[in-house]
Structures are given as structure tokens and as C-alpha cells.
Amino acid sequence: MNDGIAAEVTELVGDQADHWDRTGLIPVELLRKMSADGRLCAMVAQEHGGLGLSSAANGEFTAHVGSLCSSLRSVMTSQGMAAWAIQRLGDAEQRARLLAPLVNGELAAVGFSEAEAGSDVSAMSTVIRPDGDDVVIDGSKVWITAAHYADHLVIFGRWGEGGAAVVVPADAPGVTVERIPDPLGCRAAGHANIRLESVRVPAGQMLGGVSMPLSLLVTVVLAYGRMSVGWGCVGILRGCLSEAGAHARSRSQFGKPLGEHQLVGRHLAELLVSEQIATRACEHASRRWDDGEPDVVTATVLAKHVSAVQAAKGAASAVQVLASAGADNSHPVARAYRDAKLMEIIEGSNELCQVLLAEHVLSHS
Ligand SMILES: Cc1cc2nc3c(=O)[nH]c(=O)nc-3n(C[C@H](O)[C@H](O)[C@H](O)COP(=O)(O)OP(=O)(O)OC[C@H]3O[C@@H](n4cnc5c(N)ncnc54)[C@H](O)[C@@H]3O)c2cc1C
């Protein structure tokens, strides 16, 4: 990771993560600055104005942001996923035209999920259809991270028997974005529901893939999201480790520091184990990604699943070590506890990851 970039983001976030969590908003100028500096989707190639980071370097940077503020990390994940969709599904002209705004101050979100299509994306009912030189989109999306801030929405839907993804300006006629007012965690990540009513955009906004099965299109794009969430969970664990370690050193009960009570020490040891397990799984997946290995898909699902489970467990341990100090909702470990739980739901819930990993076992043994 580039230490200079990390230090600048530390300074940008300062001590504001709790305030953002309470108000449910990150200042949009800060997000636009991070976009303009190429940091929200740092793997975009230099030829398109991006930083061109490897998956491993982007991962360490994502973990750093995740240790500071999971809401900001969530916005990064969405922007990175939108950029990845354009990169993987778009043609050369679209890559040049559509990636540039994402590293120049504009913001994006990605919509797969619908009220009746959560884990089962094949149940999507949003329809994208051709109409002359345009495409027309009808449908709705739920729980779309960063949609409240976004200038561009990458919307997935049915295209005849297959699937398609289309880049829609968030202010296009027929688009309605309604913020979710009170999420459990990542409260400033700009989650919103989206309605698309006869939304018309030029056909050039459609990211190829016309004959691809919808589930394959989604899988390609989710790979980035899973890697990013996995690394974000590493960040949650690092933040918890540092808070729990500092508290166990500085607070005494029964005449000695908490950390010297062996049962408290066990929580610290388990937290370290969680952080190391998650880090190693993410490092492995990012290496497979950077080396272009075909098993990257499974490695990424595994890394996301392991990291999410460890983050939820580790954040709970950190709250236990801090006890009443961590029971104050403004404490970083309280925020981590709420944020980490959501990591077990998004980008493939624990159960869906287990289904995918079981399928891998069955097809490889
Ligand atoms: C904070 C947050 C951010 C999100 N951001 C985005 C976003 O940016 N873009 C987007 O498109 N979506 C987003 N989502 C939606 C997210 O992808 C879905 O919530 C997720 O896919 C689960 O769908 P669901 O909530 O409808 O749960 P359901 O699909 O109804 O599942 C309910 C429970 O049943 C389990 N389950 C379902 N099917 C099976 C099965 N076959 N076997 C075993 N268990 C099963 C699930 O694991 C879960 O525990 C976000 C959600 C949240 C909470």
C-alpha cells in the first residue's frame, strides 16, 4: 500500500467517523475529492486516469479505510464495483468514456437486489429493452449502497432471455432514489431504494453482455465487491484489535490491567487470530487475482466469507473487552459491531458463500 495515500485518508477522516455514523451522511465534497484523486476505485488503470493499483495494494488500502470508517469503505466498494463492471463488461470506447468520471469527482452505485430478488438474483424482474437507438429500463432496486450520493447507477436487469447491465445517470427522468433512513450499520454509506420508470438512455450506455446469463454477469461484478468487503473486514478487525489492546492495557480491575486477566487475554488472542486469518485469506485471493489465476472466483468467495465471519466474531470480542465503555454507541468498537454484522449479509450472505463453496467441493472432488 502507498503509505502517503493512507496517511492522507486518515487525515481526511480525522475523528469524524462517529459524527457521520450519527448523522447518516459523509460530506459529499469529501467523497468527490476521494473520487477525483482516484481513491474510490484505485484499481482503474492509469490509461483511464486511475491509480492502477494491484488487487493486493488496493486491498491493503481498503483495509486501512475500513479500519477508520466502514461507511466510507462501503462507498469505495460500490465505486470500485461500478468501475469493475465497466471494465469487465464494457468495450474499449465505453471504458474510455465511462471510467473517466469515476476518477474525476463523480460517484457511482451498483444495483442488483430487488424486493423479491435478494440471495436469488435470477429472480430479478427489472427489464431492460431496446427501443430504437435507446434502451428503456423498468423496475426497482433495494438497499443500494451509495445510491444516495451517486451520479451514476449501474443497473442489472433482464434482457430477453439473458441479462444486461446499463449505466444510468441518477438524475435521468423516471429515476427515483429514496434513502433508507435508519440502517443497522454502515449508517453513512448512503443506502437507498431506487425506482426506474420508463427510464430511457442511449444504447451506448449498455455494457455489452446482451446474451450472457444474468447470474454470470452478476458473478463477474460481485467478485470485486467480495474482495473489497473481505479487505474491509480485515480493517474492522485491525481497528478492534487496536481499541481492545489499548483498553486492556490502560484499564485495571482487581489491582491489575485487564489484559493480565487470562480470560481477557484470551479475547485478545482470539481477536489477533481472527485478524490474521482474514488477512491471509484476503492476501491469498488478491494474489490469485493479480496473477490472473482461474481459481480466483472461489478464493474470493472464501476470503469474503472467512473475513466477514471473523469480523463479526472479533467485533463482538472487542465489545466484550471494553464492556460498558464499548456499550456506548459512539465508541469505535460499538460501530464495528454493528457494521461487521452487515458484512455477513452483503455480497453473498454467509449461507450463500457456503452454498458456493460446497458446490466447489462437489465439482472438484
Ligand atoms: C447494508 C446493505 C448494503 C447492501 N448493498 C447493496 C448494493 O450496493 N447493491 C445491491 O444490489 N444490493 C445490496 N444489498 C442487498 C444484499 O445484496 C441482499 O440483502 C442480500 O443479497 C441478501 O438478500 P435478502 O436481504 O433479500 O435476504 P434473503 O435472500 O431473503 O435471505 C434471507 C436469509 O436466508 C438465507 N438464504 C437465502 N437463500 C438461501 C439458500 N438457498 N440457502 C441457504 N440460505 C439461504 C440468507 O443467507 C439469509 O440469511 C445490501 C444489503 C445491505 C443490508
pLDDT at 212: 78
Which of 113, 155, 338 for a ligand 1 pocket mutation test, highest count of atoms within 8 Å of Cβ?
A: 113
Whether residue 143 has its Cβ less than 6 Å from ligand 1: yes
Whether residue 78 has its Cβ less than 6 Å from ligand 1: yes
Q: Is 90 exceeded by the pLDDT of residue 328?
A: yes
Place of cell 469480523: 311
What DSSP element (H or E) covers 205? none
By DSSP bridging, strand 175-179 and strand 162-169 are unpaired
Measured distance CA(296)–CA(309) in Å, rounded: 20
Whether residue 352 has its Cβ less than 6 Å from ligand 1: yes
Whether residue 355 has its Cβ less than 6 Å from ligand 1: yes
pLDDT at 209: 58
Q: Which residues contact 194 (CB under 8 A, 6 or more apart)?
A: 111, 140, 141, 142, 144, 147, 153, 155, 175, 176, 177, 178
Q: Is 80 exceeded by the pLDDT of residue 210?
A: no
Average pLDDT, integer, range 154-176: 96
SS3 of 266-300: the string is HHHHHHHHHHHHHHHHHHHHHHHHHCCCCCHHHHH
Q: Are 304 and 273 within 8 A, CB to CB?
A: no
pLDDT at 1: 64
- The percent of residues above 90 in pLDDT, for the chain, comes to 95
73-129: pLDDT as tens digits: 999 999 999 999 999 999 999 999 999 999 999 999 999 999 999 999 999 999 999
pLDDT at 213: 87
CA of 119 to the centre of ligand 1 (A): 5
Average pLDDT, integer, range 51-77: 98
CA of 118 to the centre of ligand 1 (A): 5
Count H helices and E strands in the chain, helices first. Answer: 11, 9
Place of cell 479500519: 67
Q: Which of 280, 302, 306, 284 is nearest to 293 (CA)?
A: 284
Supply 192's cell numbers: 437507498
Check for a shared fold between 3-102 and 108-213: no
Residue 45: pLDDT band by 50, 70, 90 thresholds? very high
Which of ligand 1's atoms lies nearest the C-alpha of 77?
8
Closest residue (by CA) to atom 37 of ligand 1? Answer: 119
Supply 23's cell numbers: 448523522
Measured distance CA(248)–CA(251) in Å, rounded: 6
Average pLDDT, integer, range 226-255: 98
Superfamily of the domain at 108-213: Butyryl-CoA Dehydrogenase, subunit A, domain 2 (2.40.110.10)
CA of 98 to the centre of ligand 1 (A): 28
**Please, which residues bridge with residue 154 across strands?**
110, 167
Residue 39 Cα to chain centre, angstroms: 14
Which of ligand 1's atoms lies nearest the C-alpha of 352?
47
Which of ligand 1's atoms lies nearest the C-alpha of 113?
11
- The four Cα atoms 308, 74, 201, 97 give a dihedral, to 10 degrees, of -110
Closest residue (by CA) to atom 41 of ligand 1? Answer: 352
CA of 104 to the centre of ligand 1 (A): 31
62: which DSSP letter?
H
By DSSP bridging, strand 152-159 and strand 108-111 are parallel
243-277: pLDDT as tens digits: 999 999 999 999 999 999 999 999 999 999 999 99
Instruction: Please report, for residues 259, 267, 270, 274, 292, the alpha-carbon distance to residue 262 in angstroms, rounded to integers and kept in the order given.
Output: 7, 9, 12, 18, 45
Whether residue 147 has its Cβ less than 6 Å from ligand 1: no
In the chain, the largest separation of any two C-alpha atoms, in whole Å, equals 78
Instruction: Please report, for residues 232, 238, 311, 332, 342, the alpha-carbon distance to residue 278 in angstroms, rounded to integers and kept in the order given.
Output: 10, 10, 8, 20, 16
Question: For 358, left (φ over 0), alpha (ψ -120 to 50), or beta?
Answer: alpha
CA of 349 to the centre of ligand 1 (A): 6
CATH code given to domain 215-364: 1.20.140.10
pLDDT at 95: 97
Q: Is 90 exceeded by the pLDDT of residue 222?
A: yes
Supply 93's cell numbers: 470506447
Q: Where in the chain are the domains?
A: 3-102, 108-213, 215-364
Q: Which residues contact 137 (CB under 8 A, 6 or more apart)?
A: 126, 127, 128, 155, 157, 166, 168, 174, 196, 199, 200, 201
Q: Is 90 exceeded by the pLDDT of residue 208?
A: no
- The four Cα atoms 250, 252, 256, 261 give a dihedral, to 10 degrees, of -90
Q: Which of 286, 53, 338, 71 is nearest to 190 (CA)?
A: 71
What DSSP element (H or E) covers 102? helix 92-102
Place of cell 455480497: 347
Q: Are 226 and 347 within 8 A, CB to CB?
A: yes
Whether residue 139 has its Cβ less than 6 Å from ligand 1: no
What is the average pLDDT score of the chain?
Answer: 96
Which of ligand 1's atoms lies nearest the C-alpha of 156?
11
**Please, which residues bridge with residue 117 across strands?**
114
Whether residue 190 has its Cβ less than 6 Å from ligand 1: no
Which of 73, 140, 143 for a ligand 1 pocket mutation test, highest count of atoms within 8 Å of Cβ?
A: 143
Q: Into which CATH architecture does domain 3-102 fall? A: Orthogonal Bundle (1.10)
Q: Is 80 exceeded by the pLDDT of residue 2?
A: no
